[in-house]
Every structure is written in structure tokens, then in C-alpha cells.
Chains A and B, each alone.
Chain A
Amino acid sequence: MKRRLSFDFHAFVRSTILAGFIALLSWMLNTQQLALYINPRFTILTEIACFLLFLMLLAQLVAIIRIGRYTGCAHSTSRQWEYIPFIFILLLAFLVPSNTLNANLVSSKGLNSQLEIVENSKKDMPRPLAAKLKKDASIKVTDHTYTEIISEVQWFPEDYVGKEITVTGFVFKAPGDSSKQFSLVRYVVMCCTADSLPYGILCEIKDTQEYTEGTWLTLSGTIAMTKYEDKLVPAIKVTAYKKIEQPPNPYVFPYEE
């Protein structure tokens, strides 16, 4: 066997892909973008992933150029098309501008308030916030309390009718909404946005024409029962509202301290 320099194409492509993934993960970690995709409590796992990818990159880099006996084995019989999925992900991540889940998905995921509630499943509901909420004359919904307060109002409206409430979310118009109705919605994310669930509450306003779906609003109003598709459902009668920019943390990560 002749001694000569040999170039390993597979090791070269693999190094490039690994470097690409390391760049992607570090970029997301450094720009706080990770929270647009996965729950921040998994950040440590992404850091570990970065480290492991780095080790793999080192192993591939030393394999690109070899001096000496070349046995003709490229450490892999991978066909070249097999790299396409990796390259596709990297291009998608870097070239398509980052965004957040938009109102488009609410209808295919199904809004919490449109699910039917079976009466007997209500009696065992734990209601950690109920005692405090019942006392307060006005309720301010934060990211941390979002899921619990919205389900409280949805499931036990009788306890809250007449109270003031302030919520932030984006506008979603369901096919059944009248021109004066829309839902104010947030996506609730457990692990990653693939498991996100749209959580919202019906709102009634004098005129919804000027609000396109997806507009972020902070609104306040009184909780009241209203008629929706022949049923009585809880809703917010809006008294004041303000258009806002999409918040830096558009998703609600529930049960986070």
C-alpha cells in the first residue's frame, strides 16, 4: 500500500453538519431563542447536546485528511442522500426567519373552550387558586397563573361572574364567533411547541373589525355569561383594551417556578 494523503468525503460532510448543529444550538442558547421551541427547563440538556456534538466533531475532523495507509474504508457505507435531512434542518433553521406559533394553528389544535365538559368530571378538580380568586374583586392573570385561572373561569364560571379580569393574549376568531366575539388565546407549552395547546377565553367587544387574527392585546373587562352557539358560556365583556407588541415570552410554560 502506498503512503499518500487521502481525503475522506464522508468525514468532511459529517464535520460540516456537526459544526452546523453546534452553531445552531449555541446561537439559540445565546440569543434566548430556545424558549421559542422548547421549555426553558430543558436548557441544560441542550448544553449537554452541544458538548457531545463537539466531541463528535473532533473525531470527524481528524478523520478528514489521513496520511498513510488508506484502506479504502470511509468508516461508513452511508449513501450521500442520507445527509439531506440534516442539511434540510440546518437550512430551515438558519434561512427561514424565526417566528412564533401563529393563530393559524389554533383551529387545527382545537381551543380548550370548545371541548365539551362532562359535568361529573368537575367535582374532583383540584382548585389551588380558587380560595384566593374568589376573595379578590379583580383578577390579574400572569404567565405563571394563566392556565389555572383560565380553567377556573371556564369550569366554574358561577364563582367569578361580575369580577374584573385583566388578561394578555392574541386574538383568535372561531367560525362560530359573532362579529363582536373573539377568543383571547395563549399557547401553553409543556415540553416543546409540538405539544402546545391553545388556551383561551371568549371575549365580547363593541367592534372587532379592526383586529386581525393574531393581534396581541392586553384587555380588561368583567366576567359574564353569554350566549355562544345556543349555549351559555363564560366570557369577558371588554371594557378597556390596548394593542401590544408580542411579548418576549409568547408561550406559557405552566407549573414553572
Chain B
Amino acid sequence: MEKTLAVLPVYLVNAITAGAIDNFKIILLSIVLEALPFVLLSVFVSAVLHNFVSDTTIQKIIPRNKWLSIIPATLLGLLFPVCDCGMVAIVRRLVTKGVPLHTAIAFMLASPIINPVVALSTAFAFRTNPSMVILRLSVAFLVACLISFFISIVFTRSQLRRGNSNFKGCGCHQDSHDLPSERTLIAKLGYTIRDAGGEFFDMGKYLIVGAMLGAGAQVLLPRTLLTSVGLDPVVSIGAMLAFAFFISVCSSADSFIAASFVTSFSPGSLVAFMVFGPMMDLKNTLMLLQSFRFRFVVWLLLTTTCLCAIAAYLINLL
């Protein structure tokens, strides 16, 4: 490991070649092309929520009891299989509409993992080892529930950043809570498209910057840096968490990457990879920073990392 780290700077300089630039372009564009439809769909969902569903309706649906709202929120992905790429836009909207922060975050963390598409693809990737599917889903459920519970204790306010650029409206189109219901259907549709557009530009830039960093990491960092620590029960977990954070791949594809490491990595570290990646990756963190307070995002990132690491360590002990 130390040897690999020592040669890393030399490796990086040598790695920047014409071939590497080609590969960078391809990987960057592929992440953007893959994520674009999901981001677009979610900014539309967010805009529809804003223009068609009143705050009071949403607040009425959500149970007052903390656990009664957290647990259904983590399982919502079973009904709406969503991808992590677009989650932040929806979560931000839910929080502005008065959904408690812990409920919205429970939904954001769990639904990219606890959904039928991801469960099936994980089962397929780990045909040899079905217990990985159960481990992935149950660890995701536990981590999401615990984090939401902590949030409900630690944070009392919405944690949204003030002056969320164009998001909260600038006062000139009277985006107050009560207005949408008075508009005609056509006007509502018009506003929906306009709001979706605004949010697309808000979120899209972070998606692109995140994809750039992810593509750079893929092209420049040698995977031997990872495999050299694969079977160490502790270091392998840290390596896989960092790997998941940087490569930013879809939650339905990451199981295949994890499966390709199955012979050379500890099982706990692979579960950590498949739970942590969809919950927190580079592009999501950038999008979260755009919407929520810095302190809250850092807290969320650290807590998720710790819980995933602990879960992975326990799995390795079994």
C-alpha cells in the first residue's frame, strides 16, 4: 500500500496522455448522458409538486409520529424506483413544502437502494451469493433510519440554505404558498415547466462538475491502489467508501462493479460500497451543498460514512 502511494504522483503525471483525455471525455459524457434523464424527470416532479400539490396537503399526509413517518419514507422507493442522481431536487422541494427534514432525508438515503430495480440487479450481479442482496437492503434500511432519527434530535430547523438562488422565487411572480390553487390549469402547466427549467440549471451544473471529478478519478487513479488493500478487514472498508464516493455510478450498476471485486475484497467493504455510493457521492454532495447548509451537509456526510463503516466492520466480523 505504501509503495503504491509513493509512486502515485509519478503515476499521475504519466497518466495524462492523449489516450487518457479521450477516455476522460467518454466517461464524463456517459455519466452526464446517463444521469440527464433522471435529473430532468426529478426537476419536473419537483415542479409538479410545487405547482399542483399544496403544502397543507403534503403536511396532512405525513404522520405526526416520528417513526411512522421515517419508516414509510425509507420504503417509498419500492413504489417509485428512483435514481440517486435526481433525489436532491425532490428532497429540497419536499423540505420547502414543510416535510420534516428527517422524513425527507430518510427518503433520499433509502429509496435509491431499497427499490425493485436495484434489488433485482444486485441479485443478478451476486447470483453466487444471494445474501449480499439482503445485506445491502437491510444495511441501507438501518443506516437511513438511524440517520433520520439522529437528524430529528440534532436539527430542529429545515437546514435549507437561505437565498436558494431562483428556487424560492424572487418575489416578482408571487410564488407564495396559496397562489397556485388560484391559477388556471394552463397557467399551472406553464409555471411547472418554467420552474423545472430553473431547477435544471440550478442542479445541472453540480451534476456536471461532479461527473468531471468522477471521470478524472476513474482515468487517473489506478485500481491497483484499491486491490492492494482488498482483503484487509479495516482498510478495505475505507478504500471502498472512498471509491464509491468518487466514481459516481448508478445504483443499479454499482452491484456489478462490486461483484467484480468479490474475490479480492472483504464482503463488508463491498456492502459498504453498495450502500454508501447511492446515498452519498460526489455529485450528490455538490447538489446538497447547493440546497442545504454547509454544516448540515458535512454532518450528513460524516454520519453516513461512519454508520456504513461500522456496518461493514460488523459484517466482516461475522
Q: A190 at interface (Cβ–Cβ under 8 A)?
A: yes
Chain B interface: which of A95-103, A129-137, A156-164, A229-237? Answer: A95-103
Q: In the bound complex, what is the Cα–Cα distance between A103 and B20 (angstroms)?
A: 10
Chain A residues with CB under 8 A of B183: none
A-B contact count (CB 8 A): 193
Q: Which residue of A lies closest to B193 (CB)?
A: A59
Total count of chain B residues near the partner, CB < 8 A: 73
Q: Is the CB of A110 within 8 A of B224?
A: yes
Query: A53 contacts which chain B residues (CB < 8 A)?
Result: 40
Instruction: List B residues 157-182 near A (Cβ within 8 Å).
Output: 163, 165-166, 170-173
Contact with B along A91-120 (1 / 0, CB 8 A): 011001001111111011110100111100
1/0 contact string of B26-50 vs chain A (CB within 8 Å): 1111111110111011001000000
| Among B67-75, B91-99, B261-269, the stretch in contact with A | B261-269
Q: Is the CB of A46 within 8 A of B209?
A: no
Interface residue SS majority, chain B: helix
A192 touches B197 (CB 8 A): no
A residues in contact with B222, CB < 8 Å: 107-108
Spot the interface stretch: B55-63, B108-116, B211-219, B297-305: B211-219
Q: Are the C-beta atoms of A56 and B200 separated by less than 8 Å?
A: yes
Does A195 belong to the interface (CB within 8 Å)? yes
In contact, B23 and A38 (Cβ under 8 angstroms):
no
Q: Range of interface residues on chain A?
A: 35 or more
Chain B positions within 8 Å of A46 at CB level = 33, 36-37
B256 to chain A: closest residue by CB: A190
Contact: A99 with B29, CB < 8 Å? no
Nearest-neighbour CB distance to chain A for B118, whole angstroms, equals 12
List 14 A-B residue pairs with CB atoms under 8 Å apart, sorted by A's residue number.
A17-B201, A21-B36, A25-B33, A45-B37, A48-B37, A75-B170, A82-B205, A96-B25, A105-B20, A105-B218, A108-B218, A109-B218, A116-B263, A192-B250
Seen from chain B, the residues whose Cβ lies within 8 Å of a Cβ on chain A are 15, 17, 19-20, 22-23, 25-34, 36-38, 40-41, 44, 121, 124, 127-129, 163, 165-166, 170-173, 190, 193-194, 196-198, 200-202, 204-205, 208-209, 212, 214-215, 218-224, 226-227, 247-250, 252-254, 256-257, 260-264
